[in-house]
Amino acid sequence: MIKGLVSRIALIASWLGVIAAPAQAADFAAFNAGYARDVVTPAFKTLAGETRKLAQAADDFAAQPSQDGFAALRVTFDSVSDAWMQAQFFRLGPLGAQQRSERFEYWPEKRPIIDKQLAALLAKADPDALATEKFAQSSVAVQGLPALERLLYGDAARQVLSAGPEQKARIAVIQAIAHNLDTVAQELAAAWEQAQAEPKLFAQDPNEATAQLYAGLMTGLQIVSDQKIAGPRGQTLDKAKPKSAEQWRAGRSLKNIKLNLQALRDALAGPSGFATLLGADQAALKDEIAKAFDAALAAVDAAPEPLDTAVTDAEGRKKVGALLIAVNHLRDVLNQKVPAALGISLGFNEMDGDGS
């Protein structure tokens, strides 16, 4: 596991074009270890705790379907989604391996296949295909949160309570997805726990590892800007794509953006975040980072909910546009000013050239 993780770090470094800056006074090895211990690992442990509750709720509902059980499933779906939004941008290492990120949340859809593949899965409802190990090898389109969202919040979601012919199949697929999400989350938490115990993970080139960890956050911020905000908003009102918003069926699109920004702020400016690498002479930059995050989060709060409705309304679009401007300003600060101050250099990231 660790050898594979180290190899992936080296591969991603080459892929991203990260070039290590000259050695700085900062102790990058100590920072990386603290960042993994205090920022990344807790996020995945929290995720694993929430997916365990989701799997249990799915089992309880399967044993005795009820309105209360269905409501409990939605609550645990929300809790897992909350935790995922605070962990999904720690892409280096375990999350990037074995398609775990795509298996947890296949979004945005490169092509509209989730509905089609989910319908096929429900039509067959083959117990063997839904068994944990077999299901983990199925299409990523049906393994994670987007497919589960359709079952809990889609047009036909209440069929799971109707005692009709589709009820059994829907409950079985809900269970399969819930347990798959739990399996992935437990793997992620365990992998990061194991990585902390292996000092060689960050010791081979600590500066380079710091650059890669930072690049992962910048990729995450680009996803917020380009895919979570600009994508649904479109260039003009007639080009808005409201149904491309993340988790719009569950009404979570803006909440997800806020959780992403809060997690990124903690990773940048928290007690074990990247700002701890900035010297005392960088107080003005620290203040600029804090103000940029405050402005972006305030813009989220000012945007009308739900996002998929706001982007199709002239007044709503103005506030979503203001959010986009605030997030892009934050991106500029973090991309243009911070790396040099940290003593790292960034090249291309994994979103460059991505047409999705």
| 217-261 residue pLDDT tens | 999 999 999 999 999 999 999 999 999 999 999 999 999 999 999
Share of the chain above pLDDT 70, in %: 88
What mean pLDDT is predicted for residues 272-281? 96
Q: Looking at residue 4, what is its pLDDT?
A: 44
The residue written with tokens 């509209």 in the block is 112
Q: Looking at residue 16, what is its pLDDT?
A: 35
The Cα–Cα gap between 58 and 281 comes to 53
| Residue type, position 313, single letter | D
Q: Looking at residue 10, what is its pLDDT?
A: 40
Q: Domains in the chain, start-ordered, CATH in brackets?
A: 2-7+40-200 (1.20.1420.20), 202-342 (1.20.120)
Q: How confident is the model at residue 350 (pLDDT cuts 50, 70, 90)?
A: low
DSSP 8-state assignment for residue 144: S
DSSP 8-state assignment for residue 344: -
Q: State how far Cα 348 lies from the chain centre.
A: 20
Evaluate if residue 23 carries a pLDDT over 50. Answer: no
Evaluate if residue 208 carries a pLDDT over 70. Answer: yes
Q: Which residue has the higher pLDDT, 197 or 33?
A: 33
The Cα–Cα gap between 231 and 9 comes to 30
The residue written with tokens 């895919």 in the block is 227
Extended strands (E) in 103-181: none
The Cα–Cα gap between 154 and 251 comes to 11
Q: Looking at residue 6, what is its pLDDT?
A: 41
120 C-beta neighbours (distance < 10 Å), count = 11
Q: How confident is the model at residue 197 (pLDDT cuts 50, 70, 90)?
A: confident
Q: Looking at residue 352, what is its pLDDT?
A: 53
| Interval 84-117: pLDDT, tens | 999 999 988 899 999 999 999 999 998 889 999 9
Q: Which long-range contacts (CB under 8 A, 24 or more apart) does 133-136 make?
A: 135/176, 135/179, 135/180, 136/103, 136/180, 136/183
Record the pTM.
Answer: 0.90
Evaluate if residue 8 carries a pLDDT over 70. Answer: no
Q: Looking at residue 290, what is its pLDDT?
A: 97
What mean pLDDT is predicted for residues 262-289? 97
Q: Looking at residue 257, what is its pLDDT?
A: 98
Least confident of 22-26, 136-140, 184-188: 22-26
Evaluate if residue 297 carries a pLDDT over 90. Answer: yes
Q: Which residue has the higher pLDDT, 62 or 111?
A: 62
The residue written with tokens 């990037």 in the block is 96
The Cα–Cα gap between 87 and 78 comes to 14
Q: How confident is the model at residue 346 (pLDDT cuts 50, 70, 90)?
A: confident
Q: Looking at residue 159, what is its pLDDT?
A: 82
The Cα–Cα gap between 319 and 311 comes to 9
Phi, psi for 162 (deg, rounded to 5): -85, -10
Q: Looking at residue 355, what is its pLDDT?
A: 41
The Cα–Cα gap between 77 and 73 comes to 6
Q: How confident is the model at residue 201 (pLDDT cuts 50, 70, 90)?
A: low
Evaluate if residue 3 carries a pLDDT over 60. Answer: no
The Cα–Cα gap between 230 and 222 comes to 10
Q: How many CA atoms lie within 13 A of 270 on its CB side?
A: 15
8 A C-beta contact, residue 267 and residue 274: yes
What mean pLDDT is predicted for residues 38-64? 97
The Cα–Cα gap between 79 and 68 comes to 17
8 A C-beta contact, residue 298 and residue 343: no
227 C-beta neighbours (distance < 10 Å), count = 18
